[in-house]
Copies of this chain bind each other. A is one copy, B any other.
Amino acid sequence: GQSPASYVLRFSCPNQVGIVAAVTSTLVQLGCDITDGQQFDDRLTGTFFGRIEFDALRADLGQQGFFDGMTPVLASFGATWGVRAVGHLGRVLIMASQFDHCLVDLLYRWRIGELPMHVAAVVANHPRETYRAADLADVPFYHLPVSPETKDDQEAEILRLIEELDVDLVVLARYMQILSPDLVERLRGRCINIHHSFLPGFKGAKPYHQAYERGVKLIGATAHYVTAELDEGPIIAQDVERVTHRHRPEDLVRTGRDIERRVLAQAVRAHLEDRVMLRGGTTVVFSS
């Protein structure tokens, strides 16, 4: 026999007694076997979050059968929900600027099958030859330069690509342009950014020079969903590394690159595995 197809179901709703029982009983009726589950009742927002992995054991249960069975149950709880096959490849659009370390890293992880995604396109405000180190071979590449005058048109073009290419997730891989509030709103919960973090934190230009002058001992990176408040969106993943007084600004930048690429990849993986759920201005990130 064949091994059964595996799926991930996730849902959130105002907390009510019975949601887990209703969902899992429906799964039983549909011939599904739970292999992993995580649930969380967030008292802060009064929201219940659930994520369930299951094997579909009945060969005759089609997509339609599943939706017919599950939709009314989850609707009765007012839930937002989704289901996808384990191994389904999310369609990703990567945006890049001058620095390509995150772009190169994501493309490599994709090429070796490490991230459950298909790179639908790369959009950059620098020309293709900027990214010689990136394995762009068969990836549609769009050079969309941006200036104050052309920003509206550029963003319209990005949106058109997102729709045309049926993009699930936009990844700002060190894309150094600020998106307009309108574009941010349209990409709510499906656009991930990476930026540096310092302990203690501070604002302003030339952050690595500031960090050097303040003698910061820990530098890090934060991956978050993009919101209108710059670099303040719901956090998905973070990490830090120790630095010493011997680290000059260029050493801090280098250390930062390493953290940025691994934190961004962690966040993209968590999103694509449906382990991240929005919870007000923050997130629930279920354990891998």
Contacts and interface: CB of A to CB of B under 8 A. Distances in A.
Contact of A215 (B38, B133, B279, B288): B279
Interface in A219-233: 220, 222, 232
A39 B44 contact: no
Interface size class of A (residues with CB under 8 A): 35 or more
Given A200-B232, A218-B238, A281-B215, A244 B288 contact: yes
B27 A36 contact: no
A71 interface: no
Given A57-B17, A222-B199, A279-B215, A38 B37 contact: yes
Contacts of A212: 44
Contacts of A31: 17
A217 B234 contact: no
Interface stretch (A108-116, A151-159, A169-177): A108-116
Which among A43, A133, A279, A285 has the greatest number of chain B C-beta atoms within 10 A? A133
A200 B222 contact: yes
Contacts of A215: 234-235, 279, 281-283
Contact of A217 (B41, B218, B235, B279): B235
A74 to B, nearest CB: 15
A33 interface: yes
Given A199-B199, A199-B238, A112 B135 contact: no
Main secondary structure of the interface of A (DSSP, over half): mixed
A126 interface: no
Interface stretch (A18-26, A76-84, A88-96, A160-168): A18-26
B262 A199 contact: no
A214 interface: yes
A236 B235 CA distance: 28
A62 interface: no
Interface in A23-71: 24-25, 27-28, 31-44, 50, 57
A22 to B, nearest CB: 8
A12 interface: no
Nearest to A277: B245
Given A114-B254, A218-B239, A245-B283, 7 more contacts: A34-B41, A37-B39, A38-B38, A133-B135, A199-B222, A217-B237, A245-B282
7 contacts: A19-B34, A20-B34, A24-B25, A25-B25, A36-B39, A218-B238, A240-B240
Interface of A: 15, 17-21, 24-25, 27-28, 31-44, 50, 57, 101, 104, 108, 111-112, 114, 132-133, 135, 197, 199-201, 212-218, 220, 222, 232, 234-235, 237-240, 244-247, 251, 254, 257-258, 262, 279, 281-285, 287-288
